[in-house]
Chains A and B, each alone.
Chain A
Amino acid sequence: MGERPIPQSARLYKHEELEPPMNRIIASLAASTMLLSAGSAMAANHVVTAGDDAQERLQEALIVAEPGDEVILEDGVFVLTDGLSLDVDNVTVRGAGPDKTVLSFKEQQGAGEGLLVTSDNVVLRDFAVEDTRGDGIKSKGADQIVYYNIRVEWTGGPKETNGAYGVYPVESENVLVDSVTVIGASDAGIYVGQSRNIIVRNSVARFNVAGIEIENSFNADVYGNSAIRNTGGILVFDLPNLPQQGGHNVRLFDNIIAENDTPNFAPAGNIVASVPMGTGVMVMANHDVEIFDNVFNDNASSNIMIIGYRRAYEDVNYNPMVRNVRISDNAHGKAGYDPQFDGGAMLAQAFGGTLPPIVWDGVGGEAAGMASSDNVPVLSLGLETSDQPVEQAQPGLASLSGDATPVLPVIVLPEAMEAAIR
């Protein structure tokens, strides 16, 4: 898609250059021409410039776009007053670059996010979204969604009043997040929820509560990312009472997960509000998670924390326990020197002032299938159940001597998705 030449017949028009009636006539002439010569090669470009009435002009372009079309956002700051939405399949929204095309939502008066995508085979690339009141970019039930070279930022830095998620694909099959930067989300910078077949790579998450979060999702590869100076770097979570649960088959590799030292600024009630500052990776209530070839450094609570779901819930279909985590070949810098979770300081004292870089709640014992071949000690809290109070912990060093070799299959996305960003 990305390399497709722009056909000669493409109707390149700028809305503001034409009076509305003339604009309409030309658009409908173009439309009838398109009908007469029908064919997928007739894709059109809808060029939108920043300036007056950016809201209506940009939203209109997102509505009139037809499958195969591109909506081109020119260089400039688009001042938007409402959420934008796209509901047409097979459309590319392309800016001039994440530092050149900026969609600013400082003046936003409505909607739960900056941009909402509800159609399939959409490519979002080369623009920035700033200061949304709620989430940055959400895609729901949008299969084969591509986020590429996007920046989502709350420009005032980490604040509780920032929106929850930066990029937020949910209930989708085939998700690609590549070369995305998210700064300042009050929940997770890059959040993938209730989805299947996911790649998050080459991306940067800074000053969010959670840098990257894979939640209630199946089959995800998270690699080549930097999760730096968040509260927690990368989270793999599963929550009860949701349409899709039982998160599993997640691989975290080749990531840099360091200096996650931003105090937790998530509004209470949200699950990430319970993530201790200084957490590198946190795995909760998932099974079959592989953590390998990552570089961890300077995470004050722990580099890798593996725990069950600790809150009360009513859901007979939910398993709060973590099973089958395989940890190998990670580099561990300093960690556990100032643990920010309940009882952490006392625990650290018992271990000579510093906790081991890998902490596991110990639930399930050997049957939980934990394996680590990393050359660092592992602390087990020795809990019997996921929701047992930490005060009742029976902490001790654990030997996770099972086979830690990664065995999960590589995630492969439809070729068109990869082609779209080449």
Chain B
Amino acid sequence: MVRFRLLLSLLCAALLLGANPPSPGVHDDLIGGDTLPQSLSEYGFFLDRAATQPAPGVVPYRLNSPLFSDYAEKFRFAYVPQGKTVATDADGRLLFPVGSALIKSFGYRYEDQGMRLLETRVLLHRESGWVALPYVWNEDRSDAVLRRAGKRMDVNIVQPDGQAVAFSYAVPNQNQCKGCHALKGEITPIGPKLRNLDDGERLADWQQRGWFGDTVDAHEVMPDYADISEPVDYRARAYLDVNCGHCHNRAGPASNSGLYLTWEEADPVALGLYKRPVAAGRGSGGFEFAIEPGHPERSILINRMESTDPGVAMPELGRALVHGEGVDLIREWIAAMPGKAEAK
């Protein structure tokens, strides 16, 4: 078996050296190896150059509530090596086995040219831990190339509210990937949690693929924050969880703030209610509390969501535009909170 795999990788190497198109199928050796493939096509995650047709074993998925990324459309794929299974931890976080990969492409759809991908981010689970790599798409859309230092691109889009905007889209550098994907200082996937994956069908499908054991752990289900049939409280907590909770949790990059915005957070002060800022600087906007119940207009959270000024804007990375729909939701949620008269 070992010899066979060696032979296979030699064969792959020979193919690469010969500059032939990569053989179809996912290249497990590149996921698990210690090289940094220079182009996305090398992995074999997709059957086509445009990265729309996933190779066998590469499974597209959606999240109930996605992170806002400047209105980019995102295409997510998970790959688990044959015969391996995915465990879950107590928080419902998926623990993908070594050899797994998560792939996420970002793009905008234009009337004249269809979907235009800007970047594809790849998370590889290696023996040494997860590695996060950003790939930027060529002008001719033939492939995406590794850009460890990130890149800025001028982008024009029409927002859902009909407004046309021009802005500088930032592909994160490799360290900035970790800026969001860090838990206790280690890189970790942040999207795939049972509560955010469970749409009633997906988990059963993944179980059928053999990714889960006989049972899927009991878990809550997080709603789509845009689904207005759900209670505002649920929607707001889902929004904060996916947009803020990856940093603002007790083991995340914003642990020092004492502001924890995850779905499961139960302490009202940690969630921001009447919580004073610590290191907000001018992010405070002159306000006293992260959330002043009943008063979104005096809540630092809203001030930072509504800003695009680096040094004020939150999240710190990956957002150049204001997410009006998200701001409206959080505003509605805070406005409905009963305030206490004696506070201040």
A interface residues, Cβ below 8 angstroms from B: 24, 55-57, 59-60, 62-64, 81-83, 85-87, 108-112, 116, 118, 132-135, 140-141, 160-165, 168, 170-171, 186-187, 191, 193-194, 239, 241-243, 267-271, 311-315
Contact assessment for B258 and A269 in the assembled complex, using a CB-CB cutoff below 8 Å:
no
Min CB gap A61→B, angstroms: 9
Contact assessment for B258 and A134 in the assembled complex, using a CB-CB cutoff below 8 Å:
no
Which residue of B has the minimal Cβ distance to A244?
B256
- A112: chain B residues within 8 A (beta carbon): 310-311, 316
Which residue of B has the minimal Cβ distance to A315?
B269
Contact assessment for A165 and B150 in the assembled complex, using a CB-CB cutoff below 8 Å:
no
- A193: chain B residues within 8 A (beta carbon): 256, 278-279
The answer to whether A243 and B311 touch (CB under 8 A), given A163-B281, A187-B279, A269-B285, is: no
- A82: chain B residues within 8 A (beta carbon): 150, 152, 170, 173
Contact assessment for B170 and A269 in the assembled complex, using a CB-CB cutoff below 8 Å:
no
Min CB gap A340→B, angstroms: 19
Binds A, one of B61-69, B112-120, B177-185, B194-202: B177-185
Cα distance A81–B280 in the bound complex, in angstroms: 21
- A134: chain B residues within 8 A (beta carbon): 281, 283, 310-312, 316
- B269: chain A residues within 8 A (beta carbon): 241, 314-315
- B258: chain A residues within 8 A (beta carbon): 241-243
Q: Mostly helix, strand, loop or mixed at chain A's interface? A: loop
A63 touches which of B175, B270, B274, B288 (Cβ 8 Å): B175
> Which residues of B137-186 have CB atoms within 8 Å of chain A's CB atoms?
148-152, 168, 170, 173-176, 178-179, 182, 185
B282 interfacial contact with A, CB 8 Å: yes
The answer to whether A135 and B281 touch (CB under 8 A), given A111-B310, A311-B276, A314-B274, is: yes
- B316: chain A residues within 8 A (beta carbon): 83, 110-112, 134
- A83: chain B residues within 8 A (beta carbon): 176, 310, 316
- B286-320 Cβ-contact flags toward A at 8 Å (1 or 0): 11110000000000100000000111100011001
Contact assessment for B255 and A267 in the assembled complex, using a CB-CB cutoff below 8 Å:
no
Min CB gap B185→A, angstroms: 6
Cα distance A311–B326 in the bound complex, in angstroms: 31
Cα distance A141–B250 in the bound complex, in angstroms: 13
Contact assessment for B343 and A243 in the assembled complex, using a CB-CB cutoff below 8 Å:
no
Nearest 6 interchain pairs by C-beta: A164-B281, A134-B311, A269-B284, A133-B311, A85-B175, A60-B149
The answer to whether A163 and B279 touch (CB under 8 A), given A59-B149, A59-B150, A267-B286, is: no
A87 touches which of B151, B175, B274 (Cβ 8 Å): B175
Q: Mostly helix, strand, loop or mixed at chain B's interface? A: loop
Which residue of B has the minimal Cβ distance to A191?
B279
B277 interfacial contact with A, CB 8 Å: yes
Min CB gap A248→B, angstroms: 18
B253 interfacial contact with A, CB 8 Å: yes
Chain A to chain B contacts (Cβ below 8 Å), 6 pairs: A60-B149, A109-B310, A267-B283, A268-B287, A269-B288, A314-B274
Which residue of A has the minimal Cβ distance to B315?
A112
Which residue of A has the minimal Cβ distance to B279?
A164
Contact assessment for B285 and A267 in the assembled complex, using a CB-CB cutoff below 8 Å:
yes
- B320: chain A residues within 8 A (beta carbon): 109-110
Cα distance A165–B283 in the bound complex, in angstroms: 12
Cα distance A133–B310 in the bound complex, in angstroms: 6
Contact assessment for B282 and A109 in the assembled complex, using a CB-CB cutoff below 8 Å:
no
> Which residues of B47-84 have CB atoms within 8 Å of chain A's CB atoms?
none
The answer to whether A60 and B148 touch (CB under 8 A), given A87-B178, A269-B300, is: yes
B126 interfacial contact with A, CB 8 Å: no
B275 interfacial contact with A, CB 8 Å: yes
B182 touches which of A59, A118, A239, A312 (Cβ 8 Å): A118
- B151: chain A residues within 8 A (beta carbon): 56
- B173: chain A residues within 8 A (beta carbon): 59, 63, 82, 85
Contact assessment for B148 and A63 in the assembled complex, using a CB-CB cutoff below 8 Å:
yes
- B148: chain A residues within 8 A (beta carbon): 60, 63-64
> Which residues of B305-344 have CB atoms within 8 Å of chain A's CB atoms?
309-312, 316-317, 320, 343-344
Most buried by B among A62, A82, A112: A112
- A116: chain B residues within 8 A (beta carbon): 175, 179
The answer to whether A81 and B149 touch (CB under 8 A), given A165-B281, A187-B281, is: no
A81 touches which of B152, B285, B286 (Cβ 8 Å): B152
Cα distance A243–B316 in the bound complex, in angstroms: 21
- B178: chain A residues within 8 A (beta carbon): 87, 118
Cα distance A59–B149 in the bound complex, in angstroms: 6
Cα distance A315–B270 in the bound complex, in angstroms: 10
The answer to whether A164 and B280 touch (CB under 8 A), given A111-B316, A111-B317, A140-B256, is: yes
Contact assessment for A270 and B281 in the assembled complex, using a CB-CB cutoff below 8 Å:
yes
The answer to whether A241 and B275 touch (CB under 8 A), given A59-B173, A269-B285, is: yes
Contact assessment for B310 and A243 in the assembled complex, using a CB-CB cutoff below 8 Å:
no
Contact assessment for B282 and A186 in the assembled complex, using a CB-CB cutoff below 8 Å:
yes
4 additional contacts (CB under 8 A) given A59-B150, A270-B281:
A111-B176, A133-B311, A140-B253, A267-B285
B282 touches which of A64, A108, A161 (Cβ 8 Å): A161
Cα distance A62–B176 in the bound complex, in angstroms: 12
Contact assessment for B280 and A269 in the assembled complex, using a CB-CB cutoff below 8 Å:
yes
Most buried by A among B150, B151, B175, B309: B175
- B282: chain A residues within 8 A (beta carbon): 160-164, 186, 267
- A110: chain B residues within 8 A (beta carbon): 170, 310, 316-317, 320
Min CB gap A14→B, angstroms: 15
Min CB gap B343→A, angstroms: 7
Cα distance A345–B150 in the bound complex, in angstroms: 55
Min CB gap B112→A, angstroms: 28
- B182: chain A residues within 8 A (beta carbon): 118
Cα distance A132–B284 in the bound complex, in angstroms: 17
Min CB gap B128→A, angstroms: 14
Most buried by A among B150, B256, B276, B312: B256
Min CB gap B252→A, angstroms: 11
Min CB gap B174→A, angstroms: 5
Which residue of B has the minimal Cβ distance to A239?
B278
- B344: chain A residues within 8 A (beta carbon): 312
- A267: chain B residues within 8 A (beta carbon): 280-286
- A239: chain B residues within 8 A (beta carbon): 276, 278
- A311: chain B residues within 8 A (beta carbon): 276
Most buried by B among A134, A135, A164, A168: A134
Which residue of A has the minimal Cβ distance to B182?
A118
Contact assessment for B311 and A171 in the assembled complex, using a CB-CB cutoff below 8 Å:
no
Cα distance A109–B152 in the bound complex, in angstroms: 10
Which residue of A has the minimal Cβ distance to B255?
A243
Cα distance A268–B280 in the bound complex, in angstroms: 10
Min CB gap B301→A, angstroms: 12
Cα distance A168–B310 in the bound complex, in angstroms: 17
